[in-house]
Structure 1
Amino acid sequence: MWTTIECAGHPRDMGLAQGAAAGAAIRQEVAAAGLSTQRSRVPSLRALGVGPIRGHGAGREFFRHFPHQSERLEGLARSAGVPVDSLLDLHLRIRAGGSVGGLLSRRAALRARATGGRGELKRALLERSLPLPIDGESGFILRESRPAVGFCSIEIGLPWLVSAVAGVNEGGLAVMAGPLLWGTPGREGWPPSLLLVQECLQRFEDLKGALDWCCKRPVEGEQSFVLADATGAVATVIARGRSRRAQAGEGELYIEGGEPAESEPAGKPGPTRDDSVDRVWLDPTARRLKLDAAGVAIEVGLSAEGRIRRA
């Protein structure tokens, strides 16, 4: 069964709301990763960006270059009752991909289709398969983000994750992230490339600004992104380590990658070819997200004023 979470206000408030709604799942993920779930009860005057993880390497760059998502992470950790460092460590670990990335590295397919043109209304539709969780994993959630500053959006994410995996905003921009492939483990380097999804959804309404932002932010990872806006334009961003390459797309685009689930037999088609897998569709022109989960269809839209419309 899918969980729907509403987050509104300033970044910390949005994190508090998500942590309150998904606290049990967050604590389960932190414990499964072998990280501390015990939050100190002693008040601290230490700055939020200071500590063994927050003050060095990729953790320091996370707090330096992504302040909104950092504040959201702090609220998320506080409300879920786990240490900020544990939740931050969980975010940094996914850069390694493979089994460490869990659902974020599991095999999935992304598809973009552009229709219309030559006098007709041009329209782009994005589709992503959503791998099903295995025992002990938290599944994807549906999240509504209404920030005090920036664009409202409807998104697919994970209970413990500050960034969305896919979403569409009220300005007419849609973004999907592909699976995280094998990358650099450890705590050094730059923050995970997945953070770009939330940055684009909150800040931009068209491809031009989003692509420029994606190519310049200090992130790293082995990952592909597909973006589209309300004009019907489509583009991809390919992240390779710390470098990124943006490319405009036309017609139909298909990307598939990621690790097979442990339960998937060798040599058999992956879950992306199974009709029973969950899927999400994004329509940036209509500002709509459609989710097909276990045979149940959920459709949510945004008005030009950011109001949620449910089908």
Structure 2
Amino acid sequence: MASWKSGGARSALLGDLRRHFPHQAEQLEGIARGAGVGLRALAAEWLRCLREPMFAVAAICEGSAQLYAALPADAVLRHSLSEGRFETDEYCRPSLTAPLLGVNEAGLAVAVLGCFAPEGRTAPGALLARDCLERFEEVEAALAWCRVRPGAAGHALLFADARGGLCAVDRRGAVAERVAPEAGLICLGVSPEVSAALREALADGEAALHAELAALWGGDLAGADPVARCTRLVVPERSL
């Protein structure tokens, strides 16, 4: 397997990006020009960022479908006027076109978890999150599209919509699998003990879930509300 630092890995990423994600290839070129860095250097930074684990959960919280994601220290809030159908608000890393967490004006929210595994197909599956926000209004349409699109293994995408839909497509393995919520929660890639703690917190309400997620991730927490069409920083309530 090629190192993310290798020229071959960067060339493969850029080639697949232009082939399968042309809008994002154009955005990447714009980021490179704006930052005054070479495209291949920015591709190396992409690969480094995408190999770092991303954490997210999906929940039916007090009757509403919500997504939550851990934010790295360099995360920024971006409003995107894309060439697709919908405008979006999303948390992302400055060098990436793919969001960590976002919602579009039609009420579809998406979050990404996992980390890039560049064997085989090179284009990271996380890039599908950006195209879904540009294209779709409902969970089922986004889910069906993601299951047949090319992309390397390693990431799962969580979806929620303003109609109450909540689902995930798990692309961490060789086959893209649909994942439905259990007891109102989708929490992939965690131990049974952590899963049980999150479900118990969810049963106690939104504030309890926020506190449990903040304790689990140990950093900034963001949420996406598809009904309100907004993303937000979540500040857990602290007990006195």
Q: Give the TM-score, by structure 2 length.
A: 0.76
Secondary structure at the aligned position of 1:221 is classed as: coil
Residue number in structure 1 paired with 2:81? 146
Counterpart of 1:243 in 2: which secondary structure? coil
Q: Is the 8 A contact 1:127 1:282 kept in 2?
A: yes
Partner of residue 229, structure 1? 161
Instruction: Return the structure number with greater strand share.
Output: 1
| Structure 2 counterparts to residues 134-213 of structure 1, below 5 A | 139-180=74-115, 183-184=117-118, 189-213=121-145
What CA RMSD, in Å, does the superposition of the two structures yield over aligned residues? 3.1
Residue identity opposite 1:289 in structure 2: T
- Alpha-carbon shift at residue 213 of structure 1 (Å): 1.5
Contact 2:58 2:65 in 1 (8 A): no
Shift of 1:212: 1.4
C-alpha offsets along residues 54-106 of structure 1, whole Å, 9 cap, x if unaligned? 7x5343121101000000000110110111111123324455x3xxx2xxx16
1:66 aligns with 2:8: no
Q: Which moves more between the two structures, 273-282 or 72-81?
A: 273-282
Q: 1:125 to 1:76 in 2, by over 3 A?
A: same
Runs of at least 5 residues in structure 2 that lack an aligned partner in the other structure: 191-211
Q: What residue ranges of structure 1 are gaps of 5+ in the alignment?
A: 1-32, 36-50, 117-122, 134-138, 259-269, 296-311
Structure of larger gyration radius? 1
1:243 aligns with 2:175: yes
Pairs within 5 Å for 1:58-97: 58-94=13-49, 97=51
How far residue 193 of structure 1 moved from its aligned partner, in angstroms, is 1.1
Q: Aligned to 2:148, which of 199, 204, 216?
A: 216
CA contact (8 A) 2:109 2:160 kept: yes
* Corresponding position: 1:130 with 2:71: yes
Q: Deviations over 1:231-272 (max 9, x none)?
A: 1010011113453112333542142648xxxxxxxxxxx984
Contact 1:176 1:197 in 2 (8 A): yes
Alpha-carbon distance in 1 for matches of 2:153, 2:87: 26
Task: After superposition, give the CA deviation of every residue in 1:260-305 in whole Å (9 maximum; x if it has no partner).
Answer: xxxxxxxxxx98426963111111112122213699xxxxxxxxxx
Q: Give the alignment's TM-score, normalised by structure 1.
A: 0.60
4+ long deviations beyond 6 Å: 51-54
| SS of 2:114 mapped into structure 1 | coil
1:112 equivalent to 2:59? Answer: yes
Question: Which string of whole-angstrom CA distances, capped at 9 and with x for unpartnered residues, describes residues 156-200 of structure 1?
Answer: 10011111111010011000111316x236xx6320111011011
SS of alignment partner, residue 197 of structure 1: helix
Aligned equivalents of 1:177, 1:275: Cα separation in 2:
15
Relative distance call for 1:198 and 1:126 in structure 2 (3 A) is same
Corresponding letter in the other structure for 1:157: C
* Aligned partners of 2:14 and 2:43 also within 8 Å: yes
Do 2:75 and 2:94's aligned partners in 1 also have CA atoms closer than 8 Å? Answer: yes
Secondary structure of the equivalent of 1:249? coil
Amino-acid identity (%): 34
Q: Which structure has more helix as a fraction of its residues? A: 2
Contact 1:114–1:234 (Cα < 8 Å) also in 2: no
